[in-house]
């Protein structure tokens, strides 16, 4: 360690050992949350709010991590959540295991550059082997396979209690927003169109998918019933008379004159609203307030109005119905008779009361499908955890449909890769042979932790799994490469055909990101901590 008045510098072995130690500590925090038989973490923040979760991405997001190397690992693992929606825990575990094995190799005088080169070779081989040997062909993809992929994702979450119901909800939600792109000849899932509404009360089993976009806000028209067909005006400004800024006041004015000013302002806004009515709108949705004076005016004209809608809801409903958000009256052109091209269209809109909460449903949107997953639960924690796990399952189904490939779960892929990399390393006579072998062994951390979290005999099950995968090199035993763990039944089976499956892109991305994270940290040989100048 070099010291100076303005900085401290850590070099070589010292900094690598420190970085690896911090990354391993992060992995230790979340390793018990992997798999269908896993444990939850209770996180208490600085204001005392409690979060109970076993979702790796959620845990890492809430941790206050100070060490730079650990931050790099967490940030890179966040890419897995963004790109695939699941597998963050696996990324951290594989990356930390690679770093741990790299440290042992460096103690054996193997240069970091050689280790990095071998890890890159192992990553490239793993990704190509998954694509060529371990995937289910697109011809055999069906709804049941997609349902199983969702079940695998949900099995470790709170929704695993009723994985069949929630995987069906997730699949139906994705199918409701699935479109076929003719120019690319493939399906695309617009999952941003899927809305989540959470209302406390009742049990989790009362959750369901509802056709249409749902939101909770205050309606202005108390007698508003079913509006059908619906032409919606999307307003992002106040429908109220202008208020004077704080500190301003009117002096030397008679009460009659003030009354005239008040009426003039009301009539001015009323005239502008009349123009919206004349455009053909029969429902107004605004992010701001609406003057109480206009309630009778809305009722008289048979117009529905909803105020204080979030801008995010307004934007999504407008997108689904083909409407355009108006940010001010000046944006609207009323010359020569306004034609209302900026209005959104839907088949119907209506309100409904559930558990003392009023919800609004916009159904049959013109431009794109819109579905809402309506969640019920006894506590806010349950609702948050359920929505997160369902979103992960939705992302998994999206990736399976768009990528059109599935792989076997339960540690089958990692064991198959370990066996394949062993064969590859035996054919290499260069310095990368030993680090490449260690890369394959590092992948086995996934089945090891799955078995450990389930409380089963680690050595016995792993040795049986390895034997099956080694035998898969022979043609008559080729199906053994799909064999993995079924922890609920405590046995080894062909998971590809038993329904324990994942999108191939999930495994490929997790190996790529974990390897790149490990390499990024291994390449650091200096840590310079700058001090503030006095």
**Digit-coded pLDDT (tens) for 418-464:** 999 999 998 888 889 999 999 999 999 999 999 999 888 888 899 99
Q: According to the model, what pLDDT value does residue 145 have? A: 83
- Candidates 361, 367, 360, 349; CA nearest to 229 is 349
Instruction: Check whether the bond before 2 is cis (ω within 30° of 0).
Output: no
How far apart are the C-alpha atoms of 146 and 400, rounded to whole Å?
7
Query: What mean pLDDT do residues 52-56 have?
Result: 84
Q: According to the model, what pLDDT value does residue 141 have? A: 65
Q: Is the pLDDT higher at 222 or at 198?
A: 198
In the chain, CATH 1.10.560.10 covers: 2-137+411-477+504-530
Give the lowest-confidence range in 38-42, 99-103, 277-281, 524-528: 524-528
CA separation, residue 403 to residues 83, 181, 188, 192, 394 (Å): 12, 14, 10, 18, 14
340 band by pLDDT with thresholds 50, 70 and 90: low
Q: Check whether 83 has a pLDDT greater than 50.
A: yes
Q: According to the model, what pLDDT value does residue 247 have? A: 58
In the chain, CATH 3.50.7.10 covers: 213-369
335 band by pLDDT with thresholds 50, 70 and 90: very low
121 band by pLDDT with thresholds 50, 70 and 90: very high
Residues 6 or more apart whose CB falls under 8 angstroms from that of 38 comprise 32, 54, 156, 453
- Candidates 212, 225, 217, 134; CA nearest to 496 is 134
Q: According to the model, what pLDDT value does residue 36 have? A: 86
105 band by pLDDT with thresholds 50, 70 and 90: very high
The tokens describing 210, both together, are 């509802």
| Cβ atoms of residues 448 and 372 within 8 Å | no
Q: Classify domain 2-137+411-477+504-530 at the CATH class level.
A: mainly alpha
The domain made up of 213-369 has a fold known as GroEL (3.50.7)
386 band by pLDDT with thresholds 50, 70 and 90: confident
Q: Check whether 7 has a pLDDT greater than 70.
A: no
Q: Check whether 143 has a pLDDT greater than 50.
A: yes
Q: According to the model, what pLDDT value does residue 104 have? A: 94
Query: What mean pLDDT do residues 76-92 have?
Result: 86
Q: How many helices and strands, by DSSP H and E, does the chain display?
A: 17, 22
Give the lowest-confidence range in 65-69, 89-93, 289-293: 289-293
Q: Check whether 337 has a pLDDT greater than 50.
A: no
Residue with tokens 């998971």: 495
| Cβ atoms of residues 136 and 406 within 8 Å | yes
How far apart are the C-alpha atoms of 253 and 326, rounded to whole Å?
35
> Sheet harboring 304-307: ordered strands across?
213-215, 357-365, 344-354, 230-235, 283-286, 304-307, 218-219
Q: Check whether 530 has a pLDDT greater than 80.
A: no
Residue with tokens 């998918």: 209
Q: Is the pLDDT higher at 54 or at 466?
A: 466
- Candidates 412, 370, 467; CA nearest to 152 is 412
Q: According to the model, what pLDDT value does residue 152 have? A: 85
Encode 501-527: b = buried (16+ Cβ within 10 Å), e = exposed: bbbbbbbbbbbbbbbbbbbbbbebeeb
- Candidates 196, 197, 198, 192; CA nearest to 177 is 192
| Cβ atoms of residues 89 and 446 within 8 Å | no
């Amino acid at each position: 360690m070099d010291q100076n008045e303005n900085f401290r510098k850590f070099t070589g072995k010292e900094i690598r050992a420190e970085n690896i130690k911090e990354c391993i500590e992060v992995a230790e925090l979340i390793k018990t949350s992997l798999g269908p038989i896993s444990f939850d973490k209770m996180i208490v923040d600085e204001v005392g709010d409690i979060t109970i979760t076993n979702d790796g991405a959620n845990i890492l997001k809430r941790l206050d991590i100070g060490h730079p190397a650990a931050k790099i690992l967490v940030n890179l693992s966040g890419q897995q959540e963004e790109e695939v929606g699941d597998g963050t825990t696996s990324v951290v575990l594989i990356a930390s295991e690679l770093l741990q094995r790299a440290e042992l190799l460096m103690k054996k005088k193997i240069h970091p550059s050689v280790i990095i080169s071998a890890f890159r070779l192992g990553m490239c081989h793993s990704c190509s082997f998954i694509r060529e040997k371990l995937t289910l062909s697109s011809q055999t993809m069906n709804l049941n396979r997609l349902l199983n992929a969702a079940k695998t994702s949900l099995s470790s979450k709170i929704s695993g209690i009723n994985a069949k119901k929630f995987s069906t909800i997730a699949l139906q939600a994705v199918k409701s927003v699935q479109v076929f792109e003719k120019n690319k000849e493939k399906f695309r899932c617009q999952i941003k169109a899927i809305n989540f509404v959470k209302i406390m009360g009742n049990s989790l089993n009362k959750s369901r998918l509802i056709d249409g976009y749902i939101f909770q806000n205050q309606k202005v028209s108390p007698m508003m019933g079913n509006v059908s067909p619906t032409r919606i005006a999307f307003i992002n400004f106040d429908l109220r008379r202008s208020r004077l800024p704080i500190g301003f006041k009117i002096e030397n004015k008679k009460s009659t004159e003030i009354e005239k000013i008040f009426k003039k302002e009301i009539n001015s806004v009323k005239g502008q609203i009349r123009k919206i009515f004349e455009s053909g709108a029969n429902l107004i949705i605004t992010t701001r307030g609406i003057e109480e004076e206009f309630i009778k005016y809305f009722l008289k004209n048979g117009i529905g109005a909803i105020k204080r809608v979030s801008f995010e809801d307004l934007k999504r409903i407008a997108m689904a119905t083909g409407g355009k958000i108006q940010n001010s009256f000046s944006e609207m052109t009323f010359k020569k008779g306004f034609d209302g091209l900026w209005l959104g269209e839907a088949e119907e809109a209506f309100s409904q009361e559930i558990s003392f909460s009023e919800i609004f449903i916009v159904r049959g949107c013109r431009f794109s499908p819109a579905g809402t997953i309506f969640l019920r639960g006894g506590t806010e924690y349950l609702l948050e955890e359920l929505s997160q796990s369902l979103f992960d399952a939705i992302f998994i189904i999206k990736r399976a449909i768009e990528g059109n490939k599935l792989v076997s779960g339960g540690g089958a892929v990692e064991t198959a890769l370990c066996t394949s990399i062993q064969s590859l390393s035996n054919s290499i006579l260069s310095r990368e042979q030993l680090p490449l072998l260690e890369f394959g062994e590092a992948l086995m951390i996934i089945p090891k932790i799955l078995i450990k979290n389930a409380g089963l005999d680690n050595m016995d099950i792993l040795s049986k799994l390895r034997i099956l995968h080694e035998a898969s090199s022979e043609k008559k035993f080729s199906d053994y490469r799909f064999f993995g763990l079924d922890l609920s039944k405590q046995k080894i089976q062909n998971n590809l055909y038993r329904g324990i499956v994942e999108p191939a892109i999930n495994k490929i991305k997790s190996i790529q990101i974990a390897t790149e994270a490990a390499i990024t940290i291994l390449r650091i040989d200096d840590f310079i901590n700058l001090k503030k100048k006095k």
